[in-house]
Amino acid sequence: MITRLKAHQLTDGEFQDMVYMEILPANSKPDARLMMPPGPVVQCSTGSLSPFGGGSYWSVPAVLRGIKTLGWPAVELRLWAEWGQPDFVEVARKVRGQGVAVHTVHAPPDTERILGCAGLKEHAMALLMRCAAGAEAAGARGIVVHAWDLRISGFHLPLLIDNLGALAHAMPAGVVLSVETIPGYLKVLPDILRDCPDVMVTVDTQWVSLEDSWDFVYQIASRVNNLHIQTQVNTTGSGDVQLGRTQYGPYFYAEKVVREFISRGFKGAITLEPQGVAGTTPEQLRQALLLLEKWSL
């Protein structure tokens, strides 16, 4: 398991150099759809690991201890505006200093309140470029963003598309912007994907299950570079791990979802977003991650 993942522990753009040196002119930006690793990689979101580190949700030391306690070789680094200091780059370097691969970073949820609203483009650009700097420092290939917010009445689709296109184009070479399938405006994704060829999609299983939009996300599988398996990590009486029960959406068949995307050529990140971590153990999360690896083969 770890041997296979080590092939994806890339530093300072080594993967991009290896793949694109023969197919792209110097200084050109690769198409987002080309930016896939050789095969799926399984990682765990750091967003809920702080209980393993004995600290509060936004405590950087607790997150770092949680990553170490989990002992898995790959993570998606969740960035929080609440951190203040240290900045994203410093945290990314500390995570990487633990010998952990960071394949993707998750932008703060603040993006959902600014990307589609007038007068906030500079704010959005500044925040996403901070995320991009963190992604580069971590060696990550993608940034996950929430692009809309149901509570915002001034949401404007053409503005959102313009902002996403500009931000995706401004990303450093080798870093892709990926829009998550949060609820409410999933119907706008076809327009975004049509007009923003550099933008990819992160499928969140809880939210897709809530809206029963599986057929739609399977149809756009070629533009999906990240699967967020957001789920509780339950165990049976015999101790076997079960995935698919969520806080908000109906039960989903995690194995079926993973295998369906794999059958459609998916080669991106499979990211466990565990719910209720305080009631689980590091060993249970590792077993869940091993299960995702098994399904991805």
Neighbours of 284 (CB within 10 A): 17
Considering the domain boundaries, does residue 28 fall inside one? no
Model confidence band, residue 130 (pLDDT cutoffs 50, 70, 90):
very high
Alpha carbon separation from 51 to 47, 64, 207, 242 (Å, rounded): 10, 11, 24, 21
Does the pLDDT value for residue 78 go beyond 50? yes
**How confident is the model at residue 37, as a pLDDT?**
55
257, burial (CB in 10 Å: exposed 0-12, middle 13-18, buried 19+):
buried
Report the candidate in 179, 209, 165 with the shortest Cα–Cα distance to residue 112: 179
Considering the domain boundaries, does residue 167 fall inside one? yes
Structural contact between residues 276 and 232, judged by C-beta atoms closer than 8 angstroms: yes
Considering the domain boundaries, does residue 258 fall inside one? yes
Considering the domain boundaries, does residue 240 fall inside one? yes
Each residue of 236-262: pLDDT tens digit? 777 789 999 999 889 999 999 999 999
Q: Residue 203 is which amino acid?
A: V
Structure tokens at 104: 């993707």
Which CATH number do you get for residue 152? 3.20.20.150
Phi/psi of residue 165, nearest 5 degrees: -60, -45
Enclosing domain of residue 124: 37-296
Considering the domain boundaries, does residue 26 fall inside one? no
Considering the domain boundaries, does residue 260 fall inside one? yes
Is pLDDT larger for residue 152 or for residue 261?
261
Question: If you average pLDDT over every residue of the chain, what do you get?
Answer: 86
Considering the domain boundaries, does residue 65 fall inside one? yes
**Residue with the two structure tokens 């049976």:** 236
Alpha carbon separation from 181 to 62, 209, 212, 291 (Å, rounded): 28, 11, 12, 23
Chain centre distance of CA 54:
24
> In the chain, pLDDT over 70 holds for what percent of residues?
86
Nearest 10 degrees: CA dihedral of 294, 174, 128, 50? 30
Alpha carbon separation from 20 to 17, 24, 31, 283 (Å, rounded): 6, 6, 11, 38
Considering the domain boundaries, does residue 30 fall inside one? no
Number of domains in the chain: 1
Each residue of 197-235: pLDDT tens digit? 999 999 999 999 999 999 999 999 999 999 999 999 998
